[in-house]
């Protein structure tokens, strides 16, 4: 297949657009998925515990 300007720009304008939209939807769903909330809270607090939390 010859790599022409028309072919690459058509590919970028169609597939590129779809993949960006799919990706942003996917990431948004992941970030706001309700049952992951606990895991995210724990992660956010984990950095505070690593240096001055209780000793084992």
Interface with other proteins (CB under 8 A): 9, 20, 23-24, 27-28, 30-32, 37, 39-56
- Between residues 18 and 54, which has the closer beta carbon with respect to other proteins? 54
SS3 at position 3: coil
Based on DSSP, count helices (H) and strands (E) in the chain, helices before strands. 2, 0
- Between residues 1 and 31, which has the closer beta carbon with respect to other proteins? 31
Least distance in Å: CB of 45 to other proteins?
5
d(CA 37, CA 41): 6
Token reading at 9: 């720009």
- Between residues 7 and 41, which has the closer beta carbon with respect to other proteins? 41
């Amino acid at each position: 297949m010859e790599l022409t300007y028309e072919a690459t720009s058509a590919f970028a304008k169609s597939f590129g657009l779809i993949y960006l939209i799919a990706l942003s939807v996917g990431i948004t769903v992941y970030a706001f998925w309700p049952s992951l909330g606990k895991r995210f809270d724990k992660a956010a607090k984990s950095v505070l515990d690593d240096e001055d939390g209780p000793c084992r």
